[in-house]
């Protein structure tokens, strides 16, 4: 197993992507701390995993961050891996976005990532055996959509500050990487289908515009996270890995018609 006897803290793991990541880490042998602002959800997910612990935590609260680190160390004696998954989605026209909107998104999607990582890395340094941090960014770290300004800023920021952390902490054996997922089979996907004229039309559109022809399951991101957390990936740090089914590699949306071949000679 990739993570045998390692202690891994996963934020936003009370459901969706975070729960998928937690499940894979537990399956690979890790002792998992399932953290979520929804305490009951965190406990429910932890109860389904062998040897896991659920912790209620509002990541916007600095004292709560200290408490999360302390709870993890109290439960398992150490921290070997951190997955910064918790985040707030956002869509609102740029000219209507308020300061409160900005602070709400950035405080969770960027600020909390920075300071929880700082606290966890201090613990890792005290242990003296290194560690691995995986930050969940987004395809928004390369390409954007209208109305996602604060979200885009945060997800780009997660990648940039992660590279800085990776370079600084490499001599101490701590690695920091990012994963940028595409469209996931989580509540966001359900919301997209519910907002479309019909679920079938929504499904057809996205199948046409994701090269692999489907949305991605949370556990698929969990597999990549587990690899980055494990000792088989010790040469990888400062990376941003796109797990998007080819979405960001496609130049434009696919044509809604069959074009003739272009010879070019």
- The residues annotated as belonging to the active site are 151
The two beta strands, 31-36 and 53-56, are parallel
Helix then strand then coil, in percent of the chain rounded to 5, is 50, 15, 35
Q: How many CB atoms lie within 10 A of CB 113?
A: 27
Q: How many CB atoms lie within 10 A of CB 71?
A: 18
For 182, the 3-state DSSP assignment is coil
Evaluate the CA torsion angle 154, 155, 161, 162 in order and state its sign. positive
Please, are residues 10 and 18 in contact by the beta-carbon 8 Å criterion?
yes
Please, are residues 241 and 141 in contact by the beta-carbon 8 Å criterion?
no
Which residues make Cβ contacts (< 8 Å) with residue 147, sequence separation at least 6? Answer: 91, 92, 93, 94
Helical spans, DSSP H, in the chain: 16-27, 39-47, 62-76, 99-106, 112-127, 149-169, 187-195, 199-209, 218-229
């Amino acid at each position: 197993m990739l993570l045998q006897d390692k202690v891994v803290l996963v934020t936003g793991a009370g459901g969706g992507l975070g729960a998928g990541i937690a499940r894979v880490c537990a399956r690979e042998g890790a002792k998992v701390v399932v953290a979520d602002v929804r305490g009951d959800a965190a406990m429910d997910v932890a109860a389904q995993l062998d040897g896991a612990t659920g912790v209620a935590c509002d990541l916007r609260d600095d004292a709560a961050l200290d408490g999360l680190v302390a709870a993890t160390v109290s439960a398992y004696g150490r921290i070997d891996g951190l997955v910064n998954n918790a985040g707030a989605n956002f869509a609102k026209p740029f000219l209507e976005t308020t300061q409160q909107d900005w602070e709400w998104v950035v405080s969770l999607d960027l600020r909390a990532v920075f300071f929880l990582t700082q606290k966890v890395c201090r613990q890792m340094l005290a242990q003296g055996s290194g560690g691995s941090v995986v930050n969940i960014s987004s395809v928004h770290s390369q390409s954007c959509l209208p109305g996602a300004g604060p979200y885009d800023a945060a997800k780009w920021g997660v990648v940039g500050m992660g590279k800085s952390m990776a370079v600084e902490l490499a001599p101490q054996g701590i690695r920091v990487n990012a994963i940028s997922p595409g469209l996931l089979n989580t509540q966001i996907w359900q919301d997209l289908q519910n907002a479309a004229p019909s679920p079938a039309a929504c499904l057809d559109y996205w199948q046409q515009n994701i090269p692999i022809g489907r949305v991605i399951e949370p556990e698929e991101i969990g597999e990549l996270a587990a690899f980055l957390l494990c000792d088989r990936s010790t040469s990888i740090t400062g990376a941003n890995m796109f797990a998007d089914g080819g979405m960001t590699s496609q130049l434009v949306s696919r044509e809604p018609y069959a074009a003739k071949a272009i010879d070019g000679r």
